[in-house]
Amino acid sequence: RSAEFLALQQRHESNARTYPRRLPIAIEEASGSFVRDVDGNVFIDFLAGAGVLSLGHNHPDLVAAMTAQLGRLTHGLDFPTPAKEEFIEAQLSMLAPGLRDRMKFHFCGPTGANAVDAALKLCKTATGRGDVISFQGGFHGSSHAAMAITGLVSQKQPVPNGVPGIHFFPYSYCARCPLDLTPDTCTTNCAGYLERSLRDGNGGVPLPAAVILEMVQGEGGIIPARADFVRRVRELTLELGIPLVVDEVQSGCGRTGTWFAFEQYGIEPDVIVASKALSGIGTPVAVILYDRRLDVWAPGAHTGTFRGNQLAFAAGAEAVRVFRRDDVLGNVRQRGEQITRALAGLHADPWVSEVRGRGLMWGIEFADPTDGGPAGELATEVQARALRRGLIVEVGGRADCVVRLMPPLNVTAEVVDTACAILVGAIAEATR
Which stretches of the chain bind ligand PMP, using CB under 6 A?
50, 111-113, 116, 139-141, 214, 218-219, 247, 249-250, 275
Nearer CB in complex with ligand PMP: 149/329:
149
Give me the least distance between CB of 338 and ligand PMP, in Å please.
24
DSSP code at position 344:
G
Give me the least distance between CB of 331 and ligand PMP, in Å please.
22
Residue 309 backbone class (left: φ over 0; alpha: ψ -120 to 50; beta: rest) = beta
Nearer CB in complex with ligand PMP: 247/291:
247
Nearer CB in complex with ligand PMP: 218/280:
218
Give me the least distance between CB of 23 and ligand PMP, in Å please.
16
Nearer CB in complex with ligand PMP: 139/362:
139
Helix H or strand E segment including 244: strand 244-247
159 backbone dihedrals φ, ψ, rounded to 5°: -105, 110
Give me the least distance between CB of 187 and ligand PMP, in Å please.
28
Identity of residue 292: R
Nearer CB in complex with ligand PMP: 115/236:
115
Count of Cβ atoms closer than 10 Å to residue 111 Cβ: 20
Give me the least distance between CB of 151 and ligand PMP, in Å please.
11
Nearer CB in complex with ligand PMP: 172/250:
250
Count of Cβ atoms closer than 10 Å to residue 337 Cβ: 12
Helix H or strand E segment including 89: helix 82-93
Q: How far apart are CA 79 and CA 65, in angstroms?
A: 20
Q: How far apart are CA 258 and CA 240, in angstroms?
A: 28
Contacts of 152 (CB under 8 A, 6+ apart): 137, 138, 139, 219, 220, 398
Strand duo 271-274 + 287-291: pairing: antiparallel
Give me the least distance between CB of 4 and ligand PMP, in Å please.
28
